[in-house]
Amino acid sequence: MAESCRFAFAVHVMAVLAACQGDLCSSTMLARTVNTHPVVIRRLLLDLRAARLVATERGAGGGARLGRPATGITLAQIYAAVEAPCLFRTHPGQPAKFCPIGCRIVPVLDRVFARANRAVARELGRLTLAGFLRQLRHD
Amino acid sequence: MAESCRFAFAVHVMAVLAACQGDLCSSTMLARTVNTHPVVIRRLLLDLRAARLVATERGAGGGARLGRPATGITLAQIYAAVEAPCLFRTHPGQPAKFCPIGCRIVPVLDRVFARANRAVARELGRLTLAGFLRQLRHD
DNA sequence: TATTATGTAACTATTATAGTTACTGAAAGG
DNA sequence: CCTTTCAGTAACTATAATAGTTACATAATA
């Protein structure tokens, strides 16, 4: 897994924005609670904004807030916004064409990967940001 | 996803071993069809052997073969044998303790990650190595 | 005893990503 | 205006994971 921590960061940021009830939060403040650099947060917010999950405002007093209510945002949407579409990696070099397995394996593997990715999306789609916050409170 | 290609490699190796019907395959031969280095294959075979999915023999004429019939091996077992148990990564640095979200998010996130991992395992568990080979043939 | 294979340690190269610095441009308020 | 405070962004560094490689020990076979 050259998997990144962007999903964890993104859920954290979205949870803070949800708790802030529409008040604008600066990247500096968000970076302090996540414990990272403001630029890392800003890059994340750009992806979240492209998916319409947050809205941002520039200039003094600016920052980010949720793009819509936390009840209408699922973790699957957050995941899709900030991570690569496939969890798995295929062969870096093309498998051997002379081998009856190697010459045909890639599309079959891709179908397996696609099913696994959909399973993750289904599972993450079952939890909204609001539900996540509820779990945080009654942990 | 600092995700690796070990799963793809492992499924490929297992498929070749299944096609070889119990004949021993050398790491050099396996490396040629996967298109990588024999040592990479040998490291993979060590993990697969630890999970009892393959058996190996040393010395001249040695190599690897399946540890049990391909109908009794699922892709979930192969996955578990060669990849890290969690697909996701949490915060590299500990989140802020002063923040009501940061101080409680990690265990909640871990539960979400665990559910997603189980969803992947369930999905991969639905396909056996024999079923995978069947798909390869009628692709 | 020569050959062929696994097992394994140690190293290099590559790649991904978090983190950092530095700057531009936008909004707000004195 | 002009200063401050913020997002946006490019360019860079540091770090970590992993594939690939080299080299060698050990085991089995003929």
Q: What is the mean pLDDT of residues A113-126?
A: 98
Q: Residues of chain B with pLDDT > 70: what percent?
A: 99
Residue A60 predicted with pLDDT over 90: yes
Q: Residues of chain A with pLDDT > 90: what percent?
A: 95
| B101, B26 Cβ separation under 8 angstroms | no
Residue B50 predicted with pLDDT over 70: yes
pLDDT, position B133: 98
For residues B99 and B3, the model is more confident at B99
Indicate whether A73 belongs to any domain.
yes
**Nearby residues of B8 by Cβ (< 8 Å), 6 or more positions away:** A88, A89, A90, A91, A109
Helix B38-50 × helix B75-82 angle, to 10°: 110
**pLDDT digits 0-9 by tens, A93-115:** 999 999 999 999 999 999 999 99
Beta bridge partners of A2: B2
Residue B22 predicted with pLDDT over 50: yes
**pLDDT digits 0-9 by tens, B59-96:** 999 999 999 999 999 999 999 999 999 999 999 999 99
Q: What is the C-alpha to C-alpha distance for residues A115 and B9, in angstroms, rounded to an integer? A: 18
Residues 83-102, chain B, CB closer than 7 Å to nucleic strand D:
84
Indicate whether B1 belongs to any domain.
no
DSSP alpha helices (H): ranges in A52-104? 75-82
CATH number assigned to the domain comprising residue B132: 1.10.10.10
Place of tokens 């070990």: B6
Q: What is the mean pLDDT of residues A119-123?
A: 98
**pLDDT digits 0-9 by tens, A8-41:** 999 999 999 999 999 999 999 999 999 999 999 9
Q: CA B3: distance to chain centroid?
A: 12
Q: What is the C-alpha to C-alpha distance for residues B45 and B42, in angstroms, rounded to an integer? A: 5
Query: What's the total number of domains in chain A?
Result: 1
Q: Which of the four pLDDT bands, split at 50, 70 and 90, describes residue B138?
A: confident
| A42, A63 Cβ separation under 8 angstroms | no
Indicate whether A56 belongs to any domain.
yes
Helix A6-19 × helix B105-125 angle, to 10°: 130
> Chain-wide mean pLDDT for chain B?
96
Residue A138 predicted with pLDDT over 90: no
Q: What is the mean pLDDT of residues A52-68?
A: 98
Q: Which of the four pLDDT bands, split at 50, 70 and 90, describes residue A1?
A: very low
Place of tokens 């075979």: B45
Whether A97 has its CB under 8 Å from any CB of chain B: the answer is: no
> Chain-wide mean pLDDT for chain A?
96
* DSSP classification of residue A5: S
Chain A CB contacts of B139 under 8 Å are: 104, 107-108
DSSP alpha helices (H): ranges in chain B? 6-19, 27-34, 38-50, 75-82, 105-125, 129-137
Q: What is the C-alpha to C-alpha distance for residues B5 and B139, in angstroms, rounded to an integer? A: 22
Indicate whether A1 belongs to any domain.
no
Indicate whether B42 belongs to any domain.
yes
Strand D closer than 7 A to residue A61 Cβ: yes
**Nearby residues of B68 by Cβ (< 8 Å), 6 or more positions away:** B52, B53
Half-sphere exposure of B55 (CA within 13 A, CB side): 8
| A25, A17 Cβ separation under 8 angstroms | yes
Structural domain harbouring B95: 6-137
Place of tokens 């995700």: B3
Residue B129 predicted with pLDDT over 60: yes
Q: Which of the four pLDDT bands, split at 50, 70 and 90, describes residue B121?
A: very high
Q: What is the mean pLDDT of residues B22-47?
A: 98
Mutate to test the interface with B, among A105, A113, A138 (most CBs of B within 10 A): A105
* DSSP classification of residue B24: -
Pairing of strands B54-57, B63-66: antiparallel
Indicate whether B109 belongs to any domain.
yes
First and final C-alpha spacing in chain A: 28
Q: From the CA of B87, how many Å to the C1' of D13?
A: 27
Q: From the CA of B40, how many Å to the C1' of D18?
A: 10
Q: What is the C-alpha to C-alpha distance for residues B5 and A41, in angstroms, rounded to an integer? A: 29
Q: What is the mean pLDDT of residues B119-138?
A: 97
Indicate whether B105 belongs to any domain.
yes
pLDDT, position A3: 77
**Nearby residues of A134 by Cβ (< 8 Å), 6 or more positions away:** none
Indicate whether A110 belongs to any domain.
yes
